[in-house]
Structure 1
Amino acid sequence: MGAGGHPCQGLYHRRAGTRPKTAVIATHYQIDFSEHYMADYLAERGIGFLGWNTRFRGDEARFILDYALTDIGVGVRWLREVAGVENVILLGNSGGGSLMAAYQSQAVAPSITPLPGMSLVAGVENLPAGDAYISTAAHLGRPDVLTSWMDGSVTDENDPLATDSSLDLFNPGNGPAYSAEFVERYRAAQVARNHRITGWVKAEFERITAAGYHDRPFSVFRTWADPRMVDPTLEPTNRKANLCYAGVPERANRSVFGIASACTLRTWLSLWSLEDSQTRAVAHLPNITVPSLVVNGLQDTGVFPSDAEAIRGLIGAQDKEFHELEADHYFLTPGARDELADLTAAWIEKRFGVSS
C-alpha cells in the first residue's frame, strides 16, 4: 500500500524460542486485533496467536466483505507457509464471530456475491479453510447487532431529535421494566428502521450512480438502545443494569460513538442491511463443520445468552462445545482471561495438541 493506505497486517505472538504447530488467527471488521487481549495468554500456553487486521482496520465506514475475506486469507496462508503452522484455528471474538464464520463458509462453500456495480475481488473464491472455529462473546452479525441496539423510536434519519415518545426507551412512562407489549412494538420498530434506511440507500444509490457518482457517505445515529441494556429483567444474566459498552445507554445513545455512525451506501448494503448484508452468521454457521467452541460471558452487556445459544445451534459441526463463564464482554472480570485461556488451550490440545 502507498503512504496513508490501510494494508492488512498483524502481529504474531508465540513463546520465545518455539515454533507452534497450532495457532489461532483473530480478526474483526474494524477493531485492531494485532494486540488482542488473549494473544499472550494463549502464546504462554504454547499456542501461536496471529492478531490480524484487514485493510478496514479503523475504517469500517468503507467496509466491503469480499475484500476483507481475501485479507483474512492472506493471514491464514502466512501462518501455514511462513510460520509453519499445521493447524489454524479461526477465532471469532465479538463482532469478529460472524466475520470468521463468513470466512470459513466462503472457504468451503463459496456463496458471496458482489455489490451492485462491482465484481468480486480476485481470490475470494479460493480461500484456505481453517481447521477449527472458536466463538467468544460473539454477535450474530453486524445487521443483527445494529438492529438489536438501534433506537426504534427514531422517526427521521435527518433529525437526531425526532422521536416517537410511545416507543422511547428512555421515556419513564414506558419503563423500565418494559412490558412484553412494548418490547414487541419496539423490536418491530427497530427492524422497520433498518429496512427504511436500506430503502433510502438503494434509492439514493440509483440516483447518484445515474449522475456518474460511485458512492456517498452518510451517518446513522442513536444506536445504543437495546431494551436489555436498560432493563435487567429482560433475558436476565449477571450483567450490571443500565450499562452498555459505551457507558450509560441514554447518554451513549446521544453521543457520536455508536456503531454504524459513519457509512457509505455500499458499506450499508455490505455490512449493516438486514435485507442485503452477507455478514449475517445465520447463513454461514451451518457450513462450519470443523470442531467448534462457543464461549459466552454471563456479565456481558451487549451479547446475551440467546445470541450464544443461537450460534451454538446454527453451527453445522458434530464436534461442538458450549461454555458460559462469569465474565464481561472483554473478560476483564478478575481471573476470567486465565480461565478462558485454560479452557481454550485444553480444548485445542485435545483435538490438535499444542507442541512447538
Structure 2
Amino acid sequence: MTTGRAERREVTQKNSGSSTPGVTREFIGMDSPTARRAGSGGHPCQGVYYRGVGRKPKVAMIAAHYQIDFSEHYLADYMATRGIGFLGWNTRFRGHETSFLLDHALVDLGVGVRWLREVQGVETIVLLGNSGGGSLMAAYQSQAVEPNVTPLEGMRPATGLTELLPADGYIASAAHPGRPDVLTAWMDGSVVDELDPVATDSTLDLFAEQNGPPFSADFVKRYRAAQVKRNNAITDWVVKELKRVRKAGFSDRPFTVHRTWADPRMVDPALEPTKRPANTCYAGTPVNANRSAYGIAAACTLRNWLGMWSLRTAQTRAEPHLARIDCPALVINAEQDTGVYPSDAQRIHDALAGTDKTLCAVDTDHYFTTPGARSEKADMIAKWIAKRWR
C-alpha cells in the first residue's frame, strides 16, 4: 500500500512553560490511499510524533479520534519521557465529523500505523483509544485482524481497507462503548418532536422537579426506553428521507439533533455513584447545556447518521469490534468523569476477546487534569507495556 512521501518537520523542545525538555516533536503529513493533499496544502493524514531526544523507541503508541485533533494529545510528552514513542494522529475527518466514513478513517489510521512500523522501525505498536477514540481504535484493530467493516450503501470499500497492519496492544482510556451508545445514553428521552426543540413529554422531563432527582427505578427504565426509541425513530426517518432526496437527485442533506446533554446520571449522582461532581456534564450544568445549540450529533447529515450515530446501522459501536481483539488490553476508568462511567469501562473490558486484559481506575476527571493524574496514568501504561514487551 503506497501512501506518498511524508512531509516532516522536527522540532526539539526547549525548556519553556509549554514544552517538555528532552522531547522531540516531529510533524508528519501524508497522503492516504483514498485522499491526496488538498489544494490549500493540507495532507489528509497529519500528526506529531513524540520521542525522547536521541532515542528511537521500539515501542510506540498511536492515538486518534473521530473528529477531534489528537496531534497534541496530553499524554504524548509523558510517554516520550518514559522511552515510549507517541504518534498523535489525525484522519482527514478532523473537524469534519459530518462527512465521516468509517472505512476511509480506518485506512487513514493505517497510514499512521504503517509509518511507525516501516519508517520508524517500531517493533511494538499500542493503540490508544481515548474517549470517543476507544471505539474507533477498536474498529481499526478489529478490521486489521478480521476484516468486517463495510462501506455505506451505494459506496465502494475504501482502497487499502483489507491491508491494515494490526497493532500489538490496545488501551481504552475514559472511553465509552461507541458513538451510537453514548449519544443514546445522553439523549433527552422527553423529546416529542425532532423539529421542535421545545416540545417535551413532561412525564419524562429529566429537569422537571416532580420527576426528581432522585429518579425512581421506574422513571429511569421508561426514560432509557424512550432514548432508544428516539434513536431508532431518527433512523427510520433518515432511511426514508435519504430515499426521497436521492430520488430528487440529491446525494444527502443536513439536519439537527437537539437536546443531547440529558443522561440521568449527569443529574442524579445516586445513579451509578462515583467521585464525579453532581449535576455536571462536559458542557457545564446539564439543564443549560441541554438547551444550548452545542452537543454531540448536533450537526448531522443523513449518511453521517447511518454511519456514525444510529444504534441499528452504525459500525462505530465498540463491542462487536472488541470481540475480535485478543491482544493484550488495558482499560482505564476516570473516577471523576462526568460523561463516561464505570459501567462503560466494565462493558469494554468484558467485551474484549483476549485473556490478557486489565481494568483499573484513576481518581481524576475525563481529561486527567487533577494534579499528578497524567503522570500516574503514564506510569501505569509504561509499567503495563514493560511487563509485556520491554
TM-score range, shorter chain: over 0.9
> Partner residue of 1:338?
375
TM-score by length of 1: 0.98
Amino acid across the alignment from 1:11: V
Amino acid across the alignment from 2:313: D
Amino acid across the alignment from 1:27: A
Q: Aligned-pair distance for 1:2? A: 1.8
> Partner residue of 1:254?
291
**Which residue of 31, 48, 69 corresponds with 2:106?**
69
Other structure's SS at 1:14 match? strand
CA distance in 2, matches of 1:239, 1:333: 12
* Structure 1 residues 44-71: Cα deviation after superposition (integer angstroms, max 9, x where no partner): 1000000000100011111110010000
CA distance in 1, matches of 2:101, 2:151: 9
CA distance in 2, matches of 1:151, 1:126: 40
Higher relative CO (Cα under 8 Å, sequence separation at least 6) belongs to 1
How many pairs does the alignment contain?
A: 353
Amino acid across the alignment from 1:103: Y
**Which residue of 10, 14, 31 corresponds with 2:68?**
31
* Structure 1 residues 229-278: Cα deviation after superposition (integer angstroms, max 9, x where no partner): 01000000010000001111111111122000111111101100000000
Other structure's SS at 2:223 match? helix
**Which residue of 172, 186, 207 corresponds with 1:135?**
172
**Which residue of 162, 175, 182 corresponds with 2:199?**
162
1:2 aligns with 2:38: yes
CA distance in 2, matches of 1:133, 1:195: 31
> Partner residue of 1:54?
91
Q: What does residue range 173-188 of structure 1 map to in structure 2 within 5 Å? A: 173-188=210-225
> Partner residue of 1:81?
118
CA distance in 1, matches of 2:173, 2:134: 7
Other structure's SS at 2:332 match? strand
> Partner residue of 1:215?
252
Percent identity among equivalent residues? 65
> Partner residue of 2:337?
300
Other structure's SS at 2:140 match? helix
Q: Aligned-pair distance for 1:123? A: 0.8
> Partner residue of 2:318?
281
Q: What does residue range 183-262 of structure 1 map to in structure 2 within 5 Å? A: 183-262=220-299
The gaps in structure 2 that reach 5 residues or longer are: 1-36
CA distance in 2, matches of 1:255, 1:72: 33
1:20 aligns with 2:86: no
* Structure 1 residues 318-353: Cα deviation after superposition (integer angstroms, max 9, x where no partner): 111110111111011111101000000010111111
Amino acid across the alignment from 1:331: F
CA distance in 1, matches of 2:270, 2:53: 48
CA distance in 2, matches of 1:40, 1:318: 30
CA distance in 2, matches of 1:193, 1:309: 25
* Structure 1 residues 174-223: Cα deviation after superposition (integer angstroms, max 9, x where no partner): 11110000000000000000001001100000001111211111111110
Contact 1:6/1:57, CA 8 A, preserved across alignment: no
**Which residue of 148, 154, 176 corresponds with 1:111?**
148
Contact 1:28/1:93, CA 8 A, preserved across alignment: yes
* Structure 1 residues 116-168: Cα deviation after superposition (integer angstroms, max 9, x where no partner): 11111111122110000001000000000000001001111111111111111
Contact 1:270/1:277, CA 8 A, preserved across alignment: yes
CA distance in 2, matches of 1:242, 1:6: 41
Other structure's SS at 1:342 match? helix
TM-score by length of 2: 0.89
Contact 1:6/1:56, CA 8 A, preserved across alignment: no
* Structure 1 residues 283-342: Cα deviation after superposition (integer angstroms, max 9, x where no partner): 110111110001101111111011001111110111111101111110111111010000
Amino acid across the alignment from 1:305: P
Other structure's SS at 2:304 match? helix
Amino acid across the alignment from 1:124: L
Contact 1:55/1:71, CA 8 A, preserved across alignment: yes
CA distance in 2, matches of 1:9, 1:88: 18
Contact 1:10/1:53, CA 8 A, preserved across alignment: yes
Other structure's SS at 1:207 match? helix
**Which residue of 356, 366, 377 corresponds with 1:319?**
356
Amino acid across the alignment from 1:320: K
CA distance in 2, matches of 1:156, 1:185: 18
CA distance in 2, matches of 1:212, 1:351: 55
Other structure's SS at 1:237 match? coil
Q: Aligned-pair distance for 1:73? A: 0.2
> Partner residue of 2:11?
none
Other structure's SS at 1:284 match? helix
Q: Aligned-pair distance for 1:6? A: 6.4
CA distance in 2, matches of 1:126, 1:155: 45
Q: Aligned-pair distance for 1:3? A: 3.1
> Partner residue of 1:153?
190
- Over the aligned positions, Cα root-mean-square deviation in angstroms equals 0.9
* Structure 1 residues 17-74: Cα deviation after superposition (integer angstroms, max 9, x where no partner): 1110000000000010000010001011000000000100011111110010000000
